Structures are given as structure tokens and as C-alpha cells.
Amino acid sequence: MQQPWKMRLHLAEREEKTIFLKLANQIIQEILSGRLRQGTRLQGSRTLADELGINRKTVQSVYEDLEAQGWLVSKPRQGTFVSEHLPDLKLDSPYIMMTSVQPHTESHTSQEAIKNDGVPDTRLIPYELFSRAYRHALIKVTRQQIMGYGDPQGCLELRQALLNMLSMERFIQTTLEHICVVRGSQMGIFLAARVLAKSQLQRQVIVVEQWSYPPAVETFLSNHFQIILVRLDQHGLDTDHLVKILENHAVAAVYTTPHHQYPTTVSMSMDRRLKLLELSKTFDFYIIEDDYDHEFHYDSRPIPPLISLPSADKVIHIGSLSKVFAPSLRVGYVVADLNIIHAMKQDILLIDKQGNAITELAIAELMQQGEIKRHTRKMRKIYQSRRDFAVMTFQQIFKDKVEITTPAGGMALWVKFKLSYRLEFAEILKQLHIDSEYEFGSVFQDISNYFHIRFGFAALSEEEITHIVQMLYQALLER
């Protein structure tokens, strides 16, 4: 089965809207039909691209995505082959589910895509690796009879894997006792707010950046904190303005997203990071560091997290693995001093006793075997390419009507439209599934009366990015 498959395809006859999806679905269907048997070697990307008259990068992307799905396998110096162990997806392939629809449904899919403000592409999840890791975890908990309640701080294996990752890749020197596993970063934010609400009774203020992450703001409000906004500029949180706030208010904590600020994507400069830590020590407040997508930094090495720097005793560091794989993977972590961690453990016991032991063991295995690091490295390359393509597409279509500073990392763009904001834009953007209904929402207006949106590119193919940007142009400039 080593001979190359001479692909005789007529992609123009397929109903999908993009070349990428036409080719991906065609290969899957040929595998399911038996024409492409397990172990068969496919043509090289250059040869296939020439025969089909399409871009070689499109073929490479299809091969990479189908390999991530488990349909194909790449062997060094040999080529790309149909996998010997096919995923049990049948016609529920995410590609087929997304494209085997009527035109109006596909249009809805594109509109839904614009709603994301920086989420991973779940079509690229290595399902076979996940399946294997979950099987191993289930066998382990069954054989070792550990299906009962475990440690509310998280299983030891996952905390050890997190400890190794934080030490080797984030320069965070900590211990197992200072790490608490949570169900996503939002739970970490909630627990931090709840603990501070009980321990900082004389301090009823939390400072957030003038544009900030809406669910976090709502969480602080729900715990009866007063919210005060600190100014934000191209270097991140304005520490000079923060000093004025601290001199006039009893601040319990400052909530910040320093790596890729939400929503503007700017990175906080090192001098401001050090100044923020100094102020924390001087004015005795906590810093809630939401490090939600640290893995995706493209143009240089990421700046070390606040908690890895000197004088970080009062930093509550919150991270998540959801951005690596999918939002539905509810695995996050908190690193903080023992008083905070112990208080969080008590609240976890009140909420649900513990997390999901099977999921935690499965993720721990993937981390220990280096699979998460390999997947992240692959996604980093793909998302960087999509970032560059999205910036280029906005500039080509909107020309001088748009302004974008290419972010150093992350999964979204901060797009400034050089258009005077009009009330009817709110309804237009709502129809495109961009929410503009609340103060901290996805549409932001600046002092020039121009407006911004946060545009997530990571979950979109190049064809999808082009289609959505064209939709925006038609909605904003051709009506």
C-alpha cells in the first residue's frame, strides 16, 4: 500500500464554499468509502497542488489538519499516509458536520464564527491522543479504586505536571502546595473574588483596566466589590494613574491581563510590571493576574508572568489549558500563597468537592508525554499564519478605513475602524453576532468617535477570514 494515490478529483463539483473544506471532506469520504485504504501513501503536497490547480499551502494545511484529527499520519522522509488507526468519527467529522448543510445554514456558521473573540480551532484537536489518554485514566482509577472523592486542590499527577511546566516554561518557582486545579480560568477568577471578599473586609474596591474582560467584571460585582477603572495605553495598565487611585481608595486587588491585554491585545511593558509589583507591596493589595493565553506568543519570547518576578508575594496567578485545546476542556489552575490556596480549597468543597479526576489524569498524561507541548507548538505556527493573514486581509479590504497594530501574540486582533460610530452600527453588528449591548462589550468607542472590535482569528481558516472580513465591509461601508 505504499504507492502514491493518484487523486482524480473535481473539487469544483463539491458544494463546500472553500477549497480547504472541499479537499478535506473529499479525502475523508474516500477513506470512509474504502477507496483510500489504511496505510496508503498520499501524493506529496506540491504534486497534488499542481494537479488540482490550487495553492500548495492549502494542501499542506489539509494534510496537517487531517493528521491532527487522526485520519492521516506523517512519517519523516517517507510521506503522508492514511492512518492505520482511524478515528471513530464516521460522518460526524467536524468538517462534514460544518459543510454538509444548506447554503443558509452555512451562512449562519460564518456569522457564528465572527462572534468568537479569540478561541482555539476545535477542528484541530488531536482526538486520538485524547481518546487514548482518557482510556488510560479510566483504567487507572478503576484498577486503583480511586473513583471516590479526591483532593479538592486537584490530583497530584496534574499538579506535578503543571509544576514542571510552570518552572520550565514560565520561570515560576513554586511548589505543589501552592497550585490549585480549577475548572477553567473563570472559576479561578470567581474563587479569587470570593476569597478576597471574605479576607479584605475593609477593602471594597477592585481596580480593572478601562476596557476589561466582561465575565471577570461581573464576577467582582457579584461579590459586592466596587469597580474602579484604571487607564490603559499602548504599554498596558497606566501605573501613574493607578497611584492616584490607590491614594484615594482602599483597594483589595487589581485585576489585569498583562500578557495580551483583554481586549486590546497589548502587552504590559516590563517597567510597568515591576512598578505594579512595587505598588502592590507598598499599598498592600493583591494582583489577580489572568494569564489566559500565555502559550501563543509569536514574534519574540513572552515576557515572564508577574508571579515569576521579584516582590510577587501578593500575585494570584490564573491560567488555563482551554486556549490550547477547546473552551469545553474545563481545566485551569491558580498559583498563589498558601492562605489563598487553602481558602480556595474550602470553597471548592462547598461547590463540588473536587474536579474531574479522569480528565485531570488524562491531561496529566498528555503533559508528561510532551503531547501538549507538541500540539501547542503546531498550533502556534498555524495561529501566527492566521494572524498575519487576517491583518493583511483587513488592510486589503478596508484600506485606510482600518487601523491594526499587529499583536505580538494571542488569538485575536484589536481592530480600529476609522468610521464615525453611528447608532445603526449597533444593530448591524448585532446581526453579525458582534455584541454591542453592554458597557464592557465587544464593541468599543474611543474619544475620536471611531470604534473598535476584537476579532478572533485563531478558529478561522484563511477562506473563512476572507469571507467574514468581506461581510463586515459590506455591512459597514456598503449600506
Residue 203 placed within a domain: yes
Distance in angstroms (rounded) separating the CA atoms of residues 116 and 108:
13
Q: Are 218 and 230 in contact (CB under 8 A)?
A: no
pLDDT at 96: 39
Backbone angles phi, psi at 455, to 5 degrees: -110, 110
Indicate whether 274 pLDDT > 80: yes
Indicate whether 238 pLDDT > 70: yes
Residue 222 placed within a domain: yes
pLDDT at 392: 96
Q: Are residues 358 and 384 in the same domain?
A: no
Instruction: Compute how many other C-beta atoms are within 10 angstroms of the C-beta atom of residue 204.
Output: 14
Q: Are residues 205 and 272 in the same domain?
A: yes
pLDDT at 445: 52
- Full residue range of the structural domain in which residue 350 is found: 122-372
Distances (CA, A) of 119 to 72, 115, 241, 293, 410: 25, 10, 32, 10, 10
- Per-residue cell: 412: 485575536
From 322, 342, 372, the end of a domain falls on: 372
Indicate whether 106 pLDDT > 70: no
Residue 297 placed within a domain: yes
Residue pLDDT, tens place only, 377-414: 888 899 999 999 999 999 999 999 999 999 999 999 99
Q: Are residues 381 and 365 in the same domain?
A: no
Q: Are residues 163 and 256 in the same domain?
A: yes
Q: Are residues 442 and 354 in the same domain?
A: no
- Name the helix (H) or strand (E) containing 270: helix 270-283
Q: Are residues 354 and 385 in the same domain?
A: no
Query: Quick one: average pLDDT of 296-311?
Result: 87
Q: Which CATH number characterizes residue 256's domain?
A: 3.40.640.10
From 57, 82, 107, the end of a domain falls on: 82
pLDDT above 70 as % of the chain: 82
Distance in angstroms (rounded) separating the CA atoms of residues 213 and 441:
8
Q: Are residues 268 and 150 in the same domain?
A: yes
Residue pLDDT, tens place only, 138-176: 887 776 655 556 688 888 999 999 999 998 888 899 999
Q: Are residues 359 and 292 in the same domain?
A: yes
pLDDT at 51: 84
Task: Give the strand order in the sheet containing 443-445.
Answer: 402-404, 412-417, 451-456, 443-445
Residue 207 placed within a domain: yes
pLDDT at 113: 42
- Name the helix (H) or strand (E) containing 396: helix 371-398
Distance of CA 396 to the CA centre of its chain: 26
Residue pLDDT, tens place only, 225-235: 999 999 999 99
Indicate whether 375 pLDDT > 60: yes
Q: Are residues 385 and 271 in the same domain?
A: no
From 34, 66, 82, the end of a domain falls on: 82
Backbone angles phi, psi at 181, to 5 degrees: -80, 135
Distances (CA, A) of 185 to 28, 322, 331, 344, 362: 35, 8, 8, 14, 19
CA-nearest of 155, 177, 206, 170 to 337 is 177
Tell me if the bond preceding 263 is cis, omega within 30° of 0.
yes
Distance in angstroms (rounded) separating the CA atoms of residues 221 and 321:
26
- Mean per-residue pLDDT over the chain, rounded: 82
Residue 102 placed within a domain: no
Q: Which CATH number characterizes residue 459's domain?
A: 3.90.1150.10
CA-nearest of 180, 467, 191 to 338 is 180
Q: Are residues 396 and 339 in the same domain?
A: no
Indicate whether 458 pLDDT > 60: yes
pLDDT band, very low/low/confident/very high, at 281 (cuts 50, 70, 90): very high
pLDDT at 89: 43
Indicate whether 208 pLDDT > 80: yes
First to last CA, the chain: 56
